[in-house]
Amino acid sequence: MQPLEGIKVLEFSTMITASLAAMMMAEQGAEVIKVEPMDLGDPMRYLGSAKGGISALFANCNRGKRSLRLNLKSDAGRQIVRDLASNTDVVLCNFRPGVMEQHGLGSDELRAINPRLIYAGITGFGTQGPHSNKPAYDPVIQAQAGFAAVQGQGRGEMDFVRNLVCDKITAYTAFQAVTAALYVREKSGEGQHIDLSMMDAGLFFLFPDGFMHKTLIDEDAEHLPPLSELLYEMTETADGRITLSAANEAQQVGLLTAVDMLHLFADERFNSMEKLVANIDAFRALIRDEMLKYTTEELLARLEANDVPAAKCLDYEEVLAHPQYAANDSLAMHSHPALGNMRQVRLPAKFQGERMPLGSNAPAHGEHSRTVLRELGKSDADIDALFDAGQVG
């Protein structure tokens, strides 16, 4: 039995956050209906690498779902949502504050119909405050939550994580919050409302290490260089790049032994871990040229022999060919009717030692509209009328 088997989810979303959260729920057994607008549907369908009119990004975030193409501006469309919500466990939406309420489909309205409903509203900045109604995209949240500052720390500049990291962090946070609420409902019998902002999720994710120098605020607190300055060093070799993390004195001894520079520990600047950390730039400059004498494989072998954590920096193809992913059964190949042959990554968590199976193919826009309406008890004639009126597609 899959963990979320029997759970029904209604997803109202554009782009990543609610889509990815709902996909993870689908792959753990939930039944997910993705409600999409009539015109183009979720704009994520058309972004980036694509084939057959569907993007790889959309396919990666929407496995295992059914698509219902619905006009929420129509009375009939809104009534269909209410009918679905009456027998649904979770509603996930990531619109700006007030959008669902304008349609009469807010948390209070839907939970009045179904008191066991868990309603999770995801916003960019929150439901109150000076930024609550501003549009939010991943780089905007990265800039506001401190990611740009953390990425540039120690270099006197700012930069982005060039990945939709805040979108995905928020998706994982939403997934955790919803499953926690489902657990509470098992004990109380009642649903609840969940508010979650990308801005809060981003700061929470960064804070443990990225803001540790802002955690202790008394004047006598001792502030040492952050882990990002000590551990995230790109090391060039004769034929490539590696990363190494010599985070304690034993590993620093191992590093210097590996490159035949143990004499540096006699240097007054480096003869304790505290001094070495304080003079880390000078230390790295001294060993940089020595490391360039070795190939990647030679240097990794020397570091491994001295128990220093290190790894080659892999390109895309090397990542996908990594033998550990094969051992972990992390990737799967399958065929999609529009996208053709696809490589997909499985959910990370194993249950009873087994990976969750990949969900069904990401749906075409409105692919399951008729099926969903039939399940609500509507006749083919009624469904045809809704299609003809432009209320369903």
Return d(Cα 30, Cα 92) in angstroms, integer: 13
Give the list of residues 6+ apart from residue 354 with CB closer than 8 angstroms, or none: none
Return d(Cα 137, Cα 228) in angstroms, integer: 25
pLDDT digit string (tens) for 328-384? Answer: 999 999 888 889 999 999 999 999 998 999 999 999 999 999 999 999 999 999 999
Stated as kind and residue range, the H or E segment containing 9 is strand 8-12
**Which CA distances in Å does 30 have to 5, 190, 369?**
5, 19, 18
Which domains does the chain show, CATH number per domain?
Answer: 8-207+363-388 (3.40.50.10540), 233-317 (3.30.1540.10)
3-state secondary structure of 41: coil
Written as one string, the DSSP assignment of 317-333 is HHHHT-HHHHHHT-EEE
Claim: this prediction has a pTM higher than 0.75: yes
Dihedral in degrees, nearest 10, Cα atoms 175, 176, 178, 184: 160
pLDDT exceeds cutoff 80 at 272: no
Query: How high does pLDDT run on average in the chain?
Result: 93
> What is the SS3 string spanning 278-297?
HCHHHHHHHHHHHHCCCCHH
Helix axes 17-27, 165-188, angle to 10 degrees: 50
Q: What is the pLDDT of residue 202?
A: 97
Among 21-35, 101-115, 139-153, 218-232, the least confident range: 218-232
Among 249-253, 320-324, 383-387, the least confident range: 249-253
Q: What is the pLDDT of residue 180?
A: 98
Dihedral (CA of 65, 118, 128, 164) sign: negative
**What would the mean pLDDT of 171-178 be, rounded to a whole number?**
98
Return d(Cα 293, Cα 287) in angstroms, integer: 11
pLDDT digit string (tens) for 213-268? Answer: 889 999 888 887 666 666 677 899 999 999 998 878 888 889 889 999 988 878 88
**Which CA distances in Å does 384 have to 19, 363, 378?**
28, 21, 10
Q: What is the pLDDT of residue 148?
A: 93
pLDDT digit string (tens) for 137-154? Answer: 999 999 999 999 998 876
Q: What is the pLDDT of residue 154?
A: 66
Strands (E), 24-95: 31-36, 50-51, 54-55, 65-69, 90-93
Task: For the chain, give the percent of residues with pLDDT over 70.
Answer: 98
Q: What is the pLDDT of residue 228?
A: 66
Return d(Cα 121, Cα 228) in angstroms, integer: 33
Helix axes 198-210, 138-145, angle to 10 degrees: 40
Q: Are residues 32 and 11 in contact, defined by beta-carbon separation less than 8 angstroms?
A: yes
